[in-house]
Structure 1
Amino acid sequence: MNRTRLLTTMAVFVAIGTIGAHLLWFPTGIAKAYPVQHAVNVMAAVILGPIPAVIIAFVIGLLRNLLGIGTLLAFPGGMVGALLAGYLYRFTKKKPMAAVGELIGTGIIGSLLSVPYANVLMGQSVGALAFVPGFLISSSTGAILGLLVLSRVNHSQVVPNQLHT
Structure 2
Amino acid sequence: MRTRTLTTMAVFIAIGTIGAQLLWFPTGIARAYPVQHAVNVMAGIMLGPGPAVVIAFMIGLLRNLFGLGTLLAFPGGMIGAFFAGYLYKKVGRKSWAIVGEAFGSGILGSLFAVPFAYIFMGTTVGVFAFLPGFIISSISGACIGWFVVSKVKTNSIARV
| Bin for the TM-score computed over the shorter chain | over 0.9
Provide the rounded CA distance (Å) in 2 between the counterparts of 1:150 and 1:104: 19
Provide the secondary structure at the position in 2 that maps to 1:41. helix
* Unmatched 5+ stretches in structure 1: none
Provide the rounded CA distance (Å) in 2 between the counterparts of 1:107 and 1:114: 10
Normalising by structure 1, report the TM-score. Answer: 0.93
Tell me what 1:81 maps to.
80
Tell me what 1:6 maps to.
5
Provide, for residues 32-90 of structure 1, a one-character-per-residue CA deviation record: whole Å limited to 9, x for no partner: 22100000000000000000000000000001101111000100000000001111000
How far 1:120 sits from its partner (Å)? 1.1
Provide, for residues 99-158 of structure 1, a one-character-per-residue CA deviation record: whole Å limited to 9, x for no partner: 10000000000000000001111111101221000000000000000010011113xxxx
Provide the rounded CA distance (Å) in 2 between the counterparts of 1:110 and 1:141: 15
Tell me what 2:150 maps to.
151
Tell me what 2:104 maps to.
105
Tell me what 2:159 maps to.
164
Provide the rounded CA distance (Å) in 1 between the counterparts of 2:60 and 2:136: 18
Provide the rounded CA distance (Å) in 2 between the counterparts of 1:128 and 1:144: 26
| Residues 5, 159 of structure 2: 8 Å contact kept | no
Number of positions where the alignment pairs a residue of Structure 1 with one of Structure 2? 160
How far 1:30 sits from its partner (Å)? 4.6
RMSD across aligned C-alpha pairs, in angstroms?
A: 1.2
Normalising by structure 2, report the TM-score. Answer: 0.96
* Unmatched 5+ stretches in structure 2: none
| Residues 32, 70 of structure 1: 8 Å contact kept | no
| Residues 53, 83 of structure 1: 8 Å contact kept | yes
| Residues 79, 109 of structure 2: 8 Å contact kept | yes
Provide the rounded CA distance (Å) in 1 between the counterparts of 2:94 and 2:147: 10
